[in-house]
Amino acid sequence: MSFFTQELAIDLGTANTVIFQNDQIVLDEPSIVAIDNNTGKCIALGQKAKLMHEKTNPGIKTVRPLKDGVIADFNAAEIMIRGFIKQVNNRKRSLFNPNLKIVVGIPSGSTEVEIRAVRDSSEHAGGRDVYLIYEPMAAALGIGLDVEAPKGNMVVDIGGGTAEIAVISLGGIVQQESIKTAGDEFTSDIQYYLRQQHNIKVGEITAEKIKLAVGAVLPYLEEEPEPYIVRGPNLMTAHPVEAKITYDEIAHCLDKSVSKIETSILSVLEKTPPELYSDIVENGIYLSGGGALLRGLAQRFTEKVNIKFHVAEDPLRAVARGTCIALKNAANYSFLMR
């Protein structure tokens, strides 16, 4: 009957949704949906909806169904998951609707209600067998760590909505902390900084572009990115102005948020049993998620914590790759939740 079963590994992220099938990425789109205000129907998904974001008229609204890593808008989440699954299936024309076996990554600090929301959305979108996996565990699998070995591995996954810090041993999470300081927080920090320092009002998308172009956490870098020219209205006069934003300015404006993540890392290490702690010192700590791409992050954490930090090979897709590995071995992994 395996012929009639379709297996999908979904990393349902606050910023991006990645779907793996048969060890291949079949979808990588922003987690956003555009809805007609009058009919409630979906107009666009993913990249198309992101192009409409902050540019809509009163007849259309763009919704990011996930906030802080969990479902904030149940209806929009269902529309989005269903739409993405349909996109994947449209690429492979078939005469019947296959049974869907899905593994979805969720934040390790999720409450019972939040877990139920993800499970229900996945089931309503067509999933027959729905498994859930905590994101730090999925990130560890995606990085290539042996999560079932009797030794300590530590993962820091900085996504769009949450930063997940976890110590893993023997197929379980020993210590974890999930904080709502991550990519979205960095974006709003940049918006606030530009308002305060340059008197310029910028939207979410422009702040995101600045973060990608000159995002850094250290005021000194060996390879300096080119300054980013930002244009927008002056808050006082509404006249158009432009400013040159450098990476050291962004390092200054992100300092407070990055310090919160450092505090959480130290807090988790403090509670870690000594035998596992010595393993972590020996192996280092692994960084994954989009936040791991901030320039100088591993260096800053290494200096602060005194343990070597390694950035995963493909940090953006580590969680998605891990959910894919978990899906293939669903029968053997005890840490998967049904």
Residue 301's pLDDT band, with cuts at 50, 70 and 90, is very high
Q: Which CATH number fits domain 183-253: 3.90.78.10, 3.90.640.10, 3.30.70.330, 1.10.540.10?
A: 3.90.640.10
Q: Would you say domain 2-138+319-328 falls under CATH 3.30.420.40?
A: yes
- Which among 109, 166, 127, 117 is positioned nearest to 19, based on CA atoms? 127
Between CA 48 and CA 105, with CA 182 as vertex, the angle to 5 degrees is: 70
Tell me how far apart the alpha carbons of residues 41 and 45 are, in angstroms, rounded to a whole number.
11
Q: Which of 2-6, 129-133, 217-221 has the lowest mean pLDDT?
A: 2-6
Tens digit of each residue's pLDDT (9 = 90 or more) over 15-60 = 899 999 888 888 999 999 999 988 888 999 999 999 998 888 899 9
pLDDT above 90 as % of the chain: 56
What was the pLDDT predicted at 327? 87
For residue 59, count CB atoms less than 10 angstroms from its CB and return exposed for 0-12, middle for 13-18, buried for 19 or more: exposed
What was the pLDDT predicted at 302? 94
Tell me how far apart the alpha carbons of residues 316 and 290 are, in angstroms, rounded to a whole number.
5
Tell me how far apart the alpha carbons of residues 294 and 63 are, in angstroms, rounded to a whole number.
26
Residue 216's pLDDT band, with cuts at 50, 70 and 90, is very high
CATH architecture of 143-181+257-315: 2-Layer Sandwich (3.30)
Residue 100's pLDDT band, with cuts at 50, 70 and 90, is confident
Q: What does the CA dihedral 178, 181, 183, 184 come to, rounded to 10 degrees?
A: 120
Same topology between domain 2-138+319-328 and domain 143-181+257-315: yes
What was the pLDDT predicted at 92? 59
Report helix, strand or coil for 165: strand
What was the pLDDT predicted at 1? 44
User: Alpha helix locations (H) across the chain?
Assistant: 46-52, 74-90, 112-124, 135-143, 183-198, 204-214, 247-271, 274-283, 297-305, 318-328
Residue 13's pLDDT band, with cuts at 50, 70 and 90, is confident
| Mean pLDDT score, 194-201 | 92
Tens digit of each residue's pLDDT (9 = 90 or more) over 131-176 = 999 999 999 999 999 988 899 999 999 998 899 999 999 989 999 9
Between CA 338 and CA 28, with CA 64 as vertex, the angle to 5 degrees is: 70
Q: What is the pTM of this model?
A: 0.90
What was the pLDDT predicted at 137? 92
Annotated domain spans of the chain: 2-138+319-328, 143-181+257-315, 183-253
